[in-house]
Amino acid sequence: MYLARVYVTLKPAVNDPQGNTVLSALKLLGFAGVIGVRVGKYLELSLEAADKAAAEAQVAEACKRLLANPVIEDYRFQVEELASATAKP
């Protein structure tokens, strides 16, 4: 089994109202040092695949087709193999 950690972020030129709201809230709470906040998504996918390359191909395809909007978002991911407690059938 593989674990993929996927990070989806808005492209730098895209406005981030959620990040701006978090920034305002932090300033209200007294965090004067914080000067910028960008909010993205973090996803953990567990998946079965023949090998690591196959898992990476699957995750890249999933990012392109569903997880990220390529018009306004960038994505990156890492795939690691998990020691499985149960043997594969």
Site string for a copy of itself, 34-63 (x = CB under 8 A): xxxxxxxxxxxxxxxx-----x--x--xx-
67 binds a copy of itself (CB under 8 A): yes
d(CA 43, CA 73): 14
d(CA 72, CA 17): 14
76: Cβ–Cβ under 8 A, 6 or more apart, which residues? 6, 7
88 binds a copy of itself (CB under 8 A): no
Binding site for a copy of itself (CB under 8 A): 1, 7-9, 19, 22, 25-26, 29, 31, 33-49, 55, 58, 61-62, 65-67
